[in-house]
Structure 1
Amino acid sequence: MSGALLAISDLHVAHQENRDIVERLRPHSADDWLLVAGDVGELVADIEWALRLLSQRFAKVVWAPGNHELWTPSKDPVQLRGEQRYRHLVELCRQLGVSTPEDPYPVWQGETTAVTVAPLFVLYDYSFLPSGATTKEQALAQAYSEGIVCADEFLLHPDPYPTRDEWCRHRLAVTEQRLAERDPTLPTVLVNHFPLVRHPTEVLRYPVFAQWCGTEHTADWHLRFDAAAVVYGHLHIPRTTWQDGVRFEEVSVGYPREWRRRATRPGQLRQILPAPRG
């Protein structure tokens, strides 16, 4: 019997309660794959600890970076920034046997279907503009006036690119090319930290925060690249939604203050394939 394709994100293992959740994560079978859609942690040592543990338990682990992995916190001994930090994490993953957006896309083989699993690294470009804003500058000014500003503005450095949106544009071009070169006979499971479409951000408590949540340029990727499902995190609002007949799964754990309010037990792995009934 083949295993399942499972997913989780936003583990935030700097919080001890979340670290305990990761300690308890187990596959359902020896053949299960795990998709980790970013925000494992902020410190390189924490990221390594979590991915090493998971890679020892699951048949295959696939990682897409979140914004928190790309931060350069002052207390992290690894003070790499931007592209260099990302590349450092890619090499770390390779040492652990974890697939990254820079590696050949692995093919998951189920009992009746096979899919190309595509971990993505595309950032955001401030194009999810809040109501009343027509430019990035206006959107940022509105966020600062409301006191809702993502910590990326201070901790996520885009080096060597001049801005995060410039880095995003580069990542979009690289990723589109890689997706176009995949085996066109297989459907995909797209794994990205940020939602590929804007729709999921409509339920944010603070709508102005959407500008740090993705880019309009990926709005049709689930159709263009034949997605059987799209996996993402970042919003800390775990749920299933549908767009153009494609299933979108937000699979985040989130912070303890968030998951304590939920009725469901935190840290439950979401089954992506085989598609759960209902």
Structure 2
Amino acid sequence: MKLYAVSDLHLSSAVNRAALATFDARPEDWLIVAGDVGETEDHLNLALDTLQPRYAQLVWTPGNHELWRLPRSSPGGVERYERMAALCRARGVLTPEDPYPVVAFGDRTVRIAPLFTLFDYSFRPDHVALEDVILWAREDGIGSVDEVRLDPAPHLDRAAWCRARCAETERRLDAACADGLPTVLVNHWPLRPQDVRLPSIPRFAPWCGTTLTRDWPTRFNACAVIYGHIHMRGVKREAGVAYHEVSLGYPRDWEGRVEPRDCVRPIL
């Protein structure tokens, strides 16, 4: 049995929906889907309808696009996240709300921890104050749709929701990882600021994670960290940890560069 991962399917794109249909079937293996499947429950259902018959088990964690309040009259914030998680759980897909499973892949036994941490604008230079970060990004023409569509209700703001999610997740990881078993940490956003590679839009970094998680790979004995969001596929190894950015991305991110099925990355 093997473990694979992919993220950022962005099924609002008809091109990406067609690409999804080409993904290989691996009925004995597990697949991590690390967020940004799409913006609607229909997008999430399409992904599950396609991928569940092809894999033994799916693991899902949300990205920012799943949390967008579309249409504006629909639920947002925590309620929206809980609806998406409930949709997955009703279909047997593991989510950040489930116990972290312990699984053997070949001769290696690991604990898979799907996380949901959001962002708090702390991936910014030291000289930029929190209250100035959005204006600082706008100086380079950079912004994020999250500022309009990602409703943090009932939290005061997105940073407060991020802090709450990180505190709860940290508590659960502390309890679950006391045995020292190697972990696979799965999050849509990078866990460390040094993993955010945005050469063309460096000032987008504040929407890419939180420094609250920067020591989690070491602290929770990760052998692999899975993330997406930045649409820069690749893997780097550092101090025994493999950091995998596993996004498909928008068509402009993969057309003419890679076959979509090859974006499903082998992890273990």
Shorter chain as denominator, the TM-score bin is over 0.9
2:110 to 111, 115, 118: 115
Matches within 5 A, 1:1-278: 3-28=1-26, 30-74=27-71, 79-130=74-125, 132-133=127-128, 135-183=129-177, 184-262=179-257, 264-268=258-262, 269-273=264-268
- C-alpha contact (below 8 Å) 2:101/2:112 kept by paired residues: yes
Please give the secondary structure, in 2, of the residue aligned with 1:125: coil
Gaps of 5+ in 2: none
CA distance in 2 between counterparts of 1:267 and 1:198 reads 28
Shift of 1:131: 6.7
Shift of 1:25: 1.6
CA distance in 1 between counterparts of 2:134 and 2:238 reads 28
TM-score scaled by structure 1? 0.92
Please give the secondary structure, in 2, of the residue aligned with 1:138: helix
Please list the CA deviations of residues 32-73 of structure 1 after superposition, one character each: whole Å capped at 9, or x if unmatched: 000001000001111122123212221000001000000012
Q: What is the identity percentage for the equivalent residue pairs of Structure 1 and Structure 2? A: 46
- C-alpha contact (below 8 Å) 1:194/1:234 kept by paired residues: yes
User: Paired residues, what number?
Assistant: 266
TM-score scaled by structure 2? 0.95
Instruction: Give the aligned CA root-mean-square deviation in angstroms.
Output: 1.5
CA distance in 2 between counterparts of 1:200 and 1:185 reads 24
Q: What letter corresponds to residue 199 of structure 1 in structure 2?
A: Q
Gaps of 5+ in 1: 274-278
- C-alpha contact (below 8 Å) 2:119/2:162 kept by paired residues: yes
Shift of 1:200: 2.0
Against the structure 1 CA distance between its residues 125 and 85, is the aligned structure 2 distance closer, same or farther, given a 3 Å change threshold? same
Structure 1 runs of 4+ aligned residues shifted over 3 Å read none
Worse overlay, 153-162 or 199-208: 199-208
